[in-house]
Chain A
Amino acid sequence: MFSGISSFGGGFVNIPQKFEEFFRCYPVAMMNDRIRKDDANFGGKIFLPPSALSKLTMLNVRYPMLFELTANENGKVTHGGVLEFIAEEGRAYLPQWMMETLGVQPGSLLKIGSTDLPLGQFVKIQPQSVDFLDITDPKAVLENVLRKFSTLTVDDIIEINYNDSLYRIKVLEVKPDTSSRGVCVIETDLVTDFAPPVGYVEPDYKELQKQKAEEIRRTKQDPSAHENGSMSRRINYKGMIKDHQKIQSGFVGDGQKLSGKPANKSSEPEDFSRIKISLDDEPLKLDLPEGQLFFGFPIVLPKDSEEEDTQINKFQGQGQSLRKSSKRRDKSDHESSKAKAPRSPEAIEID
């Protein structure tokens, strides 16, 4: 039988015959669950019905089988390989990106014809979002994902799946540049060039640096980081204040359990370095020997002068007296009676 075919086709060997047929196209997602292959969505290959295979085997087509897909409605063209011949008759299943590139709806009519494409040498691609820049090794990723593609056509926006996220990449330019505007990428060395991703803005590096410095300034200006010096630990400054606060709280002592187990689980000594101390409480005696100075007090940063201005006097207005003259002595009289007493300045101000 084999020899028969060969003798039959002997006259056509060098004339590639063209397969061409119309299919209704559907996305891969609409395939029957038993046969669906999700990763086919992120490749350049389509599903065709078994009848197509029998036709193709009868024809003299160049391998690998490459197809030209033409949308019947708008005439958009792309290319693709074939993955399996398991689709229902009259249907072709396409990856999602291919449906979008062709601009067709599920169920649209699609002309699929076998074609012949040159081996690609160069391709220029453009990621469709800046996320692509987050990939540390784009070369390895591309090598891996392009394995699932057999053709690339200009204006294709292919979709690849890497690390659970979707990246869309547009093909801008291919070489050799033929009329079909597509290349075959099987078994070839492809020089790849990247165009800046869509939405990518060249950052203003100076501005960036300034922002960074500002951020460091903001984050590092945490004065409490300086509160745990060696002398502070030695004289147990924080412990002193903390103990006093505890005593003041009025609720001291531990609970007891009838089981005999300690009631308080966290009986381990506290880490004073993490305690935030405030100076709102009463001062305590800090008796250091002569010749010893301590600077590890909690740092109080100066208030911005703007903040002070915003303090609003909430209770305004004046009192009224129903009587016309008050029998009480005037306010000024009251003041003058005290005038002899030594008076400290209204506010102590030291610069």
Chain B
Amino acid sequence: MILRIRSKEGMQRVSCDSGDLFGTVVEKILSHLSPSVNPATITVGSQESTANEPIAGLVYRSVADLGLNHGDIVFVKYQEKEGEQPKEAASVNINTTENVKASIAPPAKELQLDQELEKEEGLIPRKKSSLCRHGDNGMCEYCSPLPPWDKQYHEDRNIKHISFHSHLKQLNESTNKATGGSYIAPLSQPDFRINKRCINGHEPWPRGICSKCQPSAITLQQQNFRMVDHVEFQKSALINEFIECWRYTGTQRFGYMYGTYQRYDATPLGVKAVVEAIYEPPQHDEQDGLTMDMEQVKEEMSKVDQLAETFGLFPVGLIFTDLNDCGAGDGSVFCKRHKDSFFLSSLEVSMAARHQLSHPNVSKFSEQGHYSSKFVTCVISGNLQNEIDIASYQVSTSAEALVDADMITGSTHPSMAFINETTSERYVPEIFYMKRNEYGLTIKENAKPAFPVDYLLLSLTHGFPLESSERKPLFATTADFPWANRQAMGLSQDHHELKRYLYGAATSGDFKELQSKLSNFHLLLYLHSLEVLSPSEWLLLVDAVKTDEDEKLFELISTPGWQTLVMILQES
């Protein structure tokens, strides 16, 4: 006879005889379940709601004794052992994926902004058109508001991609609202990895494969939505100071951008990344490249992330320069990135995808609880007029999945991504992309061995705040105090620099000046690293910078920590 076992891992079938002890059945069940199951916590029952009978009392009773017949369902509940490493080689990879997810440590809650946008309908209102034949209070098909994903509206305004929330609403409309059935999560992060925990009763890859665990063929298409629509740099001085490094040394530079996400009104339900500060991790710069030790960078950035969080900032993107002087002597640079060459090279796409994977966007509409990322990638390079310009991009969810499954690497041609070959670790399915051939026909092309990275790119707009905007930049000063990790430029953060920058303002009694001087991201990071201020004094300083109120500053100046700092400045 066969018993069906229903657990949270799905349905399994166990064959046994009616005279068998229930304990032997349990052993068979355990072999089907993941090894991290704690056998002491297993409870069973004939209904899902009543499956709370411990197996301890049942193991010595026979199957027939329990009243189980051929085809009966046994509901099983259990808890998993914590921190247990599996012993079987076959399941090693199961846990690595779980570990990866754990190490990402997504913030538990969705962004406030996402919650707000989700509640809004985002309808695009329309005025009465010439086709309307009704009064002012009426409404017809020509003047009823458009949904936020309306294609024509976006085309008219030259918006290349719809915003994430418009896309989400569009999907939700078709999957949930129209059918009226049970709720299905509209989003699902694509996963191109081969399932090494296939339950179809064969050995895992590379020793066995079946149609279920094998990833299906991938057809690349340009993604029609983007997670962030606009990147706004709070101050142009921020970019200027960042490029300064190239101006002095001629080498390229990489930095992480810190800021927040805000509403963007130019597109329906749009999101913009507002950049308040740039932090350059330790790196080795060259004229035609840059190298970072990612271990070191991650360690340092996690510290900076924590400090930035006290100001309400988090990493919103990365930025790097790719500048080559024309030699004309008027500051013009080569236009390297344009439609005839490339926008983001395959290496940069991989890097962007990796960063997007490590900064997932929490979304309750996704099966996995997170979907894509709001992390942006900015390039400073020459535009068509040979001027220095910024370009912002994101990579699509399929790019994230391709990189996550380790399917693509960079290639010698910057516009092409190279597809890796199948190994015992990974299975690379067929990858196709659609293109127009020389006869103007749309054809499906096999992407191997390489395909254009344009299929993975999303372009964003960028800009600086309008003069009229009331949002003030969080930090008043960007330049004067040297930025961190600029030893290669001959700038270092030390007591000497600190005295030059701060001593005058700290002793003059001009609080406005002191306030604006203290309001400097890199100075604050350096002050924190000095550990002169106690934690409470540090919070006071953060408040003083954030709130722009004199009282906090008065309070700070009278603290012993601040007095010590002034003393150090005096003596150095």
Contact = CB atoms under 8 A, between A and B. Distances in A.
Given A294-B347, A344-B434, A348-B455, A284 B411 contact: yes
Contacts of B239: none
B339 A349 contact: yes
B221 interface: yes
B384 A302 contact: yes
B303 interface: no
Interface string B121-155: 00000000000000000000000000000000000
Given A295-B288, A296-B289, A284 B454 contact: no
Contacts of A291: 291-294, 297, 351
B245 to A, nearest CB: 15
B454 A348 contact: yes
Interface in B399-447: 409-414, 416, 418, 420, 433-436, 442
A275 B277 CA distance: 42
B340 A303 contact: yes
B152 to A, nearest CB: 16
A347 interface: yes
Contacts of B254: 293
List of 9 A-B pairs having minimum Cβ-Cβ separation, nearest first: A229-B288, A296-B288, A344-B434, A220-B327, A231-B289, A291-B292, A283-B411, A300-B341, A283-B413
Given A283-B449, A284-B418, 9 more contacts: A217-B327, A226-B324, A288-B347, A293-B290, A293-B291, A297-B413, A302-B339, A302-B340, A302-B341
Given A232-B288, A288-B347, A292-B291, A220 B326 contact: yes
Contact of B348 (A213, A289, A293): A293
Contacts of A350: 160, 339, 343, 393, 454, 457, 459
Contacts of A312: none
A1 interface: no
B345 A216 contact: no
A347 B452 CA distance: 12
A306 interface: no
A282 B327 contact: no
Nearest to A305: B384
B322 interface: yes
Interface string B304-326: 00000000000000001010101
Q: Looking at chain B, what size class is its interface with the partner chain?
A: 35 or more
A201 interface: no
Contacts of B329: 213, 216
Given A231-B288, A284-B418, A286-B347, A347 B328 contact: no
A301 B292 contact: no
A351 interface: yes
B287 interface: yes
Nearest to A347: B436
Contacts of B410: 285-288, 294
Interface stretch (B25-33, B195-203, B330-338): B330-338
26 contacts: A220-B326, A220-B327, A226-B324, A230-B288, A231-B289, A279-B413, A283-B450, A284-B412, A285-B418, A285-B420, A286-B412, A287-B409, A287-B410, A290-B351, A293-B351, A294-B410, A297-B345, A299-B336, A302-B335, A302-B340, A344-B221, A344-B433, A346-B436, A348-B455, A349-B160, A350-B339
A82 interface: no
Interface string A64-79: 0000000000000000
Interface string B345-378: 1111001001000000000000000000000000
Contacts of B384: 302
**Which of A223, A283, A285, A342 is most buried by chain B, counting CB atoms within 10 A of its CB?**
A283
B409 A286 contact: yes
B286 interface: yes
A241 interface: yes
B442 A344 contact: yes
Nearest to B345: A297
Nearest to B435: A344
B327 A292 contact: no
A68 B252 CA distance: 80
A231 B286 contact: yes
Given A288-B347, A301-B335, A342-B221, A348 B452 contact: yes
Nearest to A351: B459
Given A217-B326, A301-B335, A302-B335, A344 B411 contact: no
Interface of A: 213, 216-217, 220-221, 223, 225-227, 229-232, 237, 240-241, 279, 282-297, 299-303, 338, 342-351
B411 A351 contact: no
A217 B450 CA distance: 36
Nearest to B454: A348
A349 B340 CA distance: 11
Contact of B222 (A216, A229, A348): A348
Contacts of B292: 291-292
Contact of A283 (B334, B341, B412): B412
Nearest to A217: B328
B219 interface: yes
B450 A295 contact: no
Contacts of A295: 252, 288-289, 322, 336, 345
Nearest to A303: B340
B286 A221 contact: no
A294 B289 contact: yes
Contacts of A237: 412
Given A216-B329, A283-B450, A294-B347, A240 B335 contact: no
B328 A351 contact: no
Contacts of B345: 294-295, 297
B226 to A, nearest CB: 12
Given A217-B328, A292-B292, A293-B351, A283 B435 contact: no
A264 B426 CA distance: 45
Contact of B450 (A282, A293, A349): A282
Contact of A297 (B393, B414, B452): B414
A342 B327 CA distance: 47
A56 to B, nearest CB: 69
Contacts of B290: 292-293
Contacts of B297: 291
B85 to A, nearest CB: 25
Nearest to B421: A285
A282 B449 contact: yes
A323 B210 CA distance: 53
Nearest to B440: A346
A180 B518 CA distance: 91
A292 to B, nearest CB: 5
Contact of B324 (A223, A283, A284): A223
A342 B219 contact: yes
A319 to B, nearest CB: 14
A177 B454 CA distance: 86
A302 B221 CA distance: 25
A302 B322 CA distance: 16
A344 B222 contact: yes
B432 to A, nearest CB: 10
A345 B339 CA distance: 15
Contacts of A342: 219, 221, 434
Contacts of B291: 231, 291-293
A284 B435 CA distance: 21
**Which of B160, B329, B339, B449 is most buried by chain A, counting CB atoms within 10 A of its CB?**
B339
**Which of A232, A296, A297, A343 is most buried by chain B, counting CB atoms within 10 A of its CB?**
A297
Given A283-B449, A288-B347, A293 B418 contact: no
Contacts of A344: 220-222, 433-435, 442, 455
A266 to B, nearest CB: 25
Given A231-B288, A285-B411, A286-B411, A226 B328 contact: no
